[in-house]
Amino acid sequence: DYITLASYAKSCAGALTEAGVKSGDRVAVTMNKGIGQIVAVLGILYAGAIYVPVSLDQPQERRESIYQGAGINVILINESDSKNSPSNDLFFFLDWQTAIKSEPMRSPQDVAPSQPAYIIYTSGSTGTPKGVVISHQGALNTCIAINRRYQIGKND
């Protein structure tokens, strides 16, 4: 339910804050699709940080290149995903199931609509990953457009 989801997100945000994440920091999410991804994204946004999805389907070398290029220090993972094994100590890996046991963040960080919400890395024409920054306003506009297109309302 949404109450539990919100509680998990607030605790995840609290864990991120304990790990030194500040508003505007970039935090990667590298895990298989599932509830953990949703909790991680909402927790990152609640903490005022910037969500950077990095797929497990990519080779580890490419993932680490994205982490370094994006200035990532903290990576939210699902410990049961075997491909998450870190090859170095450059990053702090935080398991989402551990994060949701942390003290919850009391209130969300204020962010301006123009501030980045997430960064998606694409291969670009050269094959080198390039980050595309999406603002909070841009993300909201996308959600509104999807809701209109599929006629999603408050009762759905």
Q: What is the tens place of the pLDDT at every residue in 13-43?
A: 999 999 999 999 999 999 999 999 999 999 9
pLDDT tens digits, 64-85: 899 999 999 999 999 888 666 5
Those residues whose C-beta lies under 8 Å from the C-beta of residue 60, and which sit 6 or more positions away, are 83, 87
Please give the residue range of the domain that contains residue 123.
2-149
DSSP-based three-state secondary structure for 122: strand
- For residue 48, what is the domain's CATH number? 3.40.50.12780
Segment 49-59 mean pLDDT: 94
Mean pLDDT of 77-96: 79
State the amino acid at position 152 in one-letter form. Answer: I
Whether residue 101 contacts residue 56, with contact meaning beta carbons closer than 8 Å, is answered with: no
Cα gap 87→61, rounded to integer Å: 9
- What total of structural domains would you count in the chain? 1
* Rounded (to 5) percent helix, strand, coil in the chain: 40, 20, 40
What is this structure's pTM? 0.91
116-122 and 130-135 beta bridge pairing: antiparallel
Q: Is residue 24 part of a domain?
A: yes
- Mean predicted confidence (pLDDT) in 78-100: 82
| Residue with more model confidence, 70 or 128 | 70
Does residue 47 belong to any structural domain of this protein? yes
